[in-house]
């Protein structure tokens, strides 16, 4: 389906301003789940659709929720945002103490609640999932490499191994038609006191080579402008959901629904997208395909999908098998199947940076016993 052609994917760090917003939104969702304790009935009724906009030291948190009054009152958006800021590693002298948070969260529309409160989808949409056998992550190789570059940068930032490295980084990997690395691009935010040539050499040796191997230097571009000291929301505004291709599989795979972060599991944009990945990974793991793309389409207020599609790299249609193997693809059925109301060993906050797929901590990454 997609082999034998050049491919490119990018990834961004936890310190990217859009990822800052995604992490704040999902940190809010995690706090909601925490404050509802083990009461699954309360959790089934909660709704969050959190949006964020960040620029400099201003963060606007908005969107819609349906929460018990005591839960909503117990959440401190300012404290949550400051926790995320510090976890990312934004310098405190850039304003964590002075971070201004505008809370403009409002109640969910009663019209939408008419459908979601009885287990229907909260909106229409087409969700897409994918899996491939080309690596252990079952993710596109160009995506996996771009992400590994980011996580390696993150490790060096947190450990202090590269003490001048800062939180806001981007990477991009291109593969040729044979699947070999054709070029690598890295943008690494840095302190003022590192010379450009020293930075380039360190990033090449400590990041690029361990991930992509030795490459001709002309095929590796690091900090192309020569300087990247201003990053995070100071360098660029951030918005929830602006990195949906990075969140998913890279541009090899089409994007279906909307953003994930900040949305509770009743939103099929999130839950059904995760289920599509779960199904696709199950199909490839069974040996039924080398690649599989799964799509589910929903209508607002409706319980079961209007369309179920599963197609392999050879064009084989496995849609009928999916309907038989996964008979309940309603939002409630997906939530229960994946345990999305009761995170154990994982959090939504963890999914908001470094991609939502290809990491075994998440339940949608397990293979179904079907």
Q: Is residue 11 within 8 Å of 246, Cβ to Cβ?
A: yes
Residue with tokens 């287990």: 119
DSSP annotation of 264 reads -
Q: Would you please indicate which residues are annotated as catalytic (active-site) residues? A: 16, 18-19, 51, 64, 170, 228, 236-237, 242-243, 263, 267, 269
Could you tell me the sign of the dihedral formed by the alpha carbons of 331, 337, 341, 346, in that order?
A: negative
Parallel/antiparallel/unpaired status of strands 220-222 and 181-190: parallel
Q: For residues 291 and 30, give the distance between their C-alpha atoms in angstroms, rounded to a whole number.
A: 33
Task: Read off the tokens for 324.
Answer: 């038989």
- Using a 10 angstrom Cβ sphere, with 0-12 exposed, 13-18 middle and 19 or more buried, the burial of residue 8 is middle
Query: For the CA atoms of the chain, what is the radius of gyration?
Result: 21
Opening angle at CA 246, ends 44 and 272, nearest 5 = 30
Task: Read off the tokens for 138.
Answer: 């079952």
Parallel/antiparallel/unpaired status of strands 291-298 and 125-132: antiparallel
* Residues ≥6 apart with Cβ < 8 Å to 7: 140, 141, 142, 174, 175, 250, 252
Buried/exposed code over 40-52 (b: 16+ C-beta within 10 A; e: otherwise): eebbbbbbbbbbb
């Amino acid at each position: 389906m997609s082999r034998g052609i050049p491919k490119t994917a990018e990834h961004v760090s936890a310190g990217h301003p859009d990822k800052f917003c995604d992490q704040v939104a999902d940190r809010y969702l995690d706090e909601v789940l925490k404050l509802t304790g083990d009461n699954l009935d309360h959790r089934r009724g909660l709704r969050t659709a959190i949006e964020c906009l960040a620029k400099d030291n201003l963060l606007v948190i908005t969107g819609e929720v349906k929460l018990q009054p005591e839960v909503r009152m117990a959440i401190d958006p300012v404290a949550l945002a400051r926790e995320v800021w510090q976890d990312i590693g934004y310098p405190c002298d850039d304003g964590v103490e002075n971070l201004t948070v505008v809370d403009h969260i409002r109640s969910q529309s009663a019209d939408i609640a008419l459908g979601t409160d009885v287990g229907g989808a909260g909106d229409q949409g087409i969700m897409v999932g994918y899996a491939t056998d080309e690596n252990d992550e079952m993710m596109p190789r160009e995506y996996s490499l771009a992400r590994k570059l980011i996580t390696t940068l993150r490790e060096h930032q947190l450990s202090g191994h590269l003490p001048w490295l800062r939180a806001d980084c981007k990477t991009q990997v291109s593969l040729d038609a044979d699947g070999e690395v054709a070029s690598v691009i890295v943008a690494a935010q840095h302190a003022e006191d590192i010379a450009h040539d020293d930075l380039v050499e360190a990033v090449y040796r400590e990041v690029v080579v361990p991930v992509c191997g030795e490459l001709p230097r002309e095929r590796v571009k690091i900090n192309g402008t020569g300087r990247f000291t201003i990053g995070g929301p100071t360098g660029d505004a951030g918005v929830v959901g602006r990195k949906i291709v990075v969140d998913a599989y890279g541009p090899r795979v089409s994007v279906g629904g909307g953003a994930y972060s900040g949305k509770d599991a009743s939103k099929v944009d999130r839950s059904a997208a995760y289920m599509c990945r779960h199904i696709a990974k199950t199909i490839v793991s069974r040996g039924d395909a080398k690649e599989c793309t799964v799509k589910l389409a929903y209508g607002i207020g409706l319980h079961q999908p209007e369309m179920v599609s599963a197609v392999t790299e050879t064009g084989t249609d496995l849609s009928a098998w999916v309907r038989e193997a996964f008979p309940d693809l309603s939002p409630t059925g997906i939530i229960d199947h994946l345990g999305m109301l009761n995170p154990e060993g994982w959090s939504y906050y963890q999914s908001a940076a470094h991609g939502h797929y290809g990491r075994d901590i998440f339940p949608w990454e397990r293979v179904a016993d079907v």
